[in-house]
Each structure stands twice: as structure tokens, then as C-alpha cells.
């Protein structure tokens, strides 16, 4: 049994795309995420951060219970659920905002949908867990298909590799009868790419426009935004905003960020100029 408001919130989110830059606030309930690991692991801290993200104007909140940073330690589905279940159902009931679950495990995605989540953000683009595409179809959630690789290959032409990956993911989605209107693409910035490939992926977003799907970009606080060898405090908000404005110019429609309020202010100025 899935939450009765799942479809309404899903459609509310999908209807926003194209009307304005859609801001996805990040809520990591993990001990080891690269930027905020451990800060929101306790259920009460997670709830307070979700409320802050919503108050700051996030259009959707993306909840992750396993870090996907380079060198992360994989956790079981049981561990992900143990981190999510103490608060997620209460949170989706109390906040009238769509929620996304950042997972590549079908069992976690299904349980999250039962708890009221309206979207699955899969960093393996439906390809890691053979049951994921069917789960997305059955639950009725929207889905983010992110490009990823098992390893970095500096010799790749990254846009071609992304297209091959997306083609396979979309074949899986079609076979599972996921409506195309519920799908979006993510170039996977910071995932198994060299610095040059990450920038090429951002610059090459227009090459993905023929898919006719919204593009989500997640660059917030990532080390590739700083000068090579810079200290962690160089991974600044202004660099994140600059990258997201460039991504918007290249066709991105959704932006996964730690700082919704600052991005909303920046996009208001960008929108006036762009229109």
C-alpha cells in the first residue's frame, strides 16, 4: 500500500519542470557523506533539516541513507532502512512537499514509496538492481536516471558514453512500462569521471536535449569545482552557484543542492536576464 498523496506530489513536481528551476534540497542521513556526513543521522536532526530545506524554498527533498561519495563503504538495504524508517513516514506526512529517495536498491525504493516518497533518485540509472525498473513502475514514483561507471577511463568521450548508458536505462524503463513522462536524466557529475570529463559533461548537456527529458544536475560542494589541490574550504557556495547557472544555460531543469535559499535568489536574477 502506497501513500495516497504519492501521485499528487509526484505530479505537482513534474508540472513545475519547465516553469522554473526546480530546487532539490539534499538531506543525507549518513555518517560518511562528503559534505555533511553524520550531521543529520539522528532522526530528530533529519526532521529539523528537512523542515529548514522546505522553509528555504526547496521544491523537493532528496533523502539518502547511503553515501555515494568516491571511496564510500557500501551498506545493506537493511542498514539503509534502519536509518530511514524512524523518521521518513512521519516527515512525509507532516511536510506537504515531494520527497525523493536516493538509492539503487529496489527494496529500499519500494519501502520509501510506502512511506510517502514520490521519486527515486538512482545513481545507477535502473541498471544496478534488476528489480529497480519494475519497482519504479509498480509504485508509480518518478525516477532520476543517473549516468555512472564502475571505474574512471580518461580516454572516454564522455558524452558518447553517457548516451550509451542512457539508451540502456531507457530500454529497461520501457520494458517495465514506466511512463516516459516520469523520467529525468542526470549526467552524474563527480561519478567515475575525470575533472575534464565532468566539465565536458556540463558543457555537453545540450547534446542530451533530443531525449526530450528533463535534466537534473548535482554539483553542490563537489571538489571538482575547486582549483586542483585546493583545501576543502575552497569548495564554496559561489562555485556551486556558478556551475548551476552554467548548467541552467545549457538546459538543466533541476538542481540538487545543499543551499536552496541562495540558489533561489541567484536563479531569480538569472531568470530575469535569461527571459
pLDDT of residue 233: 56
Cell of 134: 519494475
Residue 225 binned pLDDT confidence (cut-offs 50, 70, 90): confident
CA dihedral sign, ordered 197, 198, 201, 203: negative
Contact 155, 197 (CB under 8 A): no
- For residue 1, pLDDT over 50 is answered with yes
The answer to whether residue 193 is catalytic is no
Task: Provide, rounded to the nearest whole percent, the portion of the chain with pLDDT above 70.
Answer: 91
Given this model, what pLDDT does residue 34 score? 47
Given 10, 182, 193, 222, which residue is catalytic? Answer: 222
Residue 33 has pLDDT above 50, yes or no: no
CATH topology for 20-274 is TIM Barrel (3.20.20)
Q: What is the pLDDT of residues 148-161, one digit of tens each?
A: 999 999 999 999 99
Cα dihedral 147/150/156/161 (nearest 10)? -30
256 assigned to active site? yes
pLDDT digits over 99-141, tens only?
999 999 999 999 999 999 999 999 999 999 999 999 999 999 9
Residue ranges per structural domain of the chain:
20-274
SS3 per residue for the chain: CCCCCHHHHHHHHHHHECCECEEEEEEECCCCCCCCCCCCCCHHHHHHHHHHHHHCCCCEEEEECCCCCCCCCCCCHHHHHHHHCCCHHHHHHHCCCCEEEECCCHHHHHHHHHCCCCEEEECCCCCCCCCHHHHHHHHCCEEEEECCCCCCCCCCCHHHHHHHHHHHHHHHHHHCCCCHHHEEEECCCCCCCCHHHHHHHHHCHHHHHHHCCCEEECCCCCHHHCCCCCCHHHCCHHHHHHHHHHHHHCCCCEEEECCHHHHHHHHHHHHHHHC
Average pLDDT over residues 223-239: 72
Is the CB of residue 216 less than 8 Å from the CB of residue 256?
yes
Q: Catalytic pick from 105, 256, 268, 275?
A: 256
Amino acid at each position: 500500500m502506497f501513500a495516497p498523496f504519492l501521485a499528487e506530489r509526484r505530479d505537482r513536481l513534474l508540472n513545475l519542470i519547465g516553469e522554473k528551476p526546480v530546487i532539490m534540497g539534499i538531506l543525507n542521513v549518513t555518517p560518511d557523506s562528503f559534505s555533511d556526513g553524520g550531521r543529520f543521522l539522528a532522526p530528530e536532526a533529519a526532521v529539523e533539516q528537512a523542515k529548514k530545506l522546505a522553509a528555504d524554498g526547496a521544491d523537493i527533498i532528496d533523502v539518502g541513507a547511503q553515501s555515494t561519495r568516491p571511496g564510500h563503504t557500501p551498506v545493506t538495504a537493511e542498514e539503509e532502512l534502519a536509518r530511514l524508517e524512524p523518521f521518513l513516514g512521519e516527515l512525509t506526512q507532516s511536510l506537504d512537499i515531494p520527497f525523493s529517495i536516493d538509492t539503487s536498491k529496489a527494496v529500499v525504493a519500494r519501502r520509501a514509496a510506502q512511506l510517502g516518497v514520490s521519486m527515486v533518485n538512482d545513481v545507477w540509472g535502473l541498471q544496478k538492481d534488476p528489480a529497480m525498473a519494475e519497482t519504479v513502475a509498480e509504485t508509480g514514483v518518478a525516477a532520476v536516471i543517473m549516468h555512472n561507471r564502475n571505474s574512471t577511463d580518461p580516454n572516454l568521450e564522455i558524452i558518447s558514453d553517457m548516451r550509451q548508458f542512457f539508451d540502456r536505462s531507457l530500454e529497461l524503463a520501457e520494458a517495465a512500462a514506466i511512463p516516459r513522462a516520469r523520467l529525468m536524466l542526470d549526467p552524474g557529475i563527480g561519478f567515475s569521471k575525470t575533472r575534464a570529463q565532468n566539465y565536458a559533461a556540463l558543457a555537453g548537456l545540450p547534446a542530451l536535449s533530443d531525449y526530450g527529458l528533463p535534466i537534473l544536475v548535482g554539483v553542490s560542494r563537489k571538489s571538482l569545482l575547486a582549483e586542483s589541490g585546493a583545501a576543502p574550504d575552497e569548495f564554496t557556495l559561489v562555485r556551486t552557484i556558478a556551475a548551476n547557472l552554467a548548467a541552467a544555460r545549457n538546459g538543466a531543469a533541476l538542481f540538487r543542492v545543499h543551499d536552496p535559499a541562495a540558489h533561489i535568489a541567484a536563479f531569480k536574477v538569472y531568470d530575469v536576464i535569461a527571459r
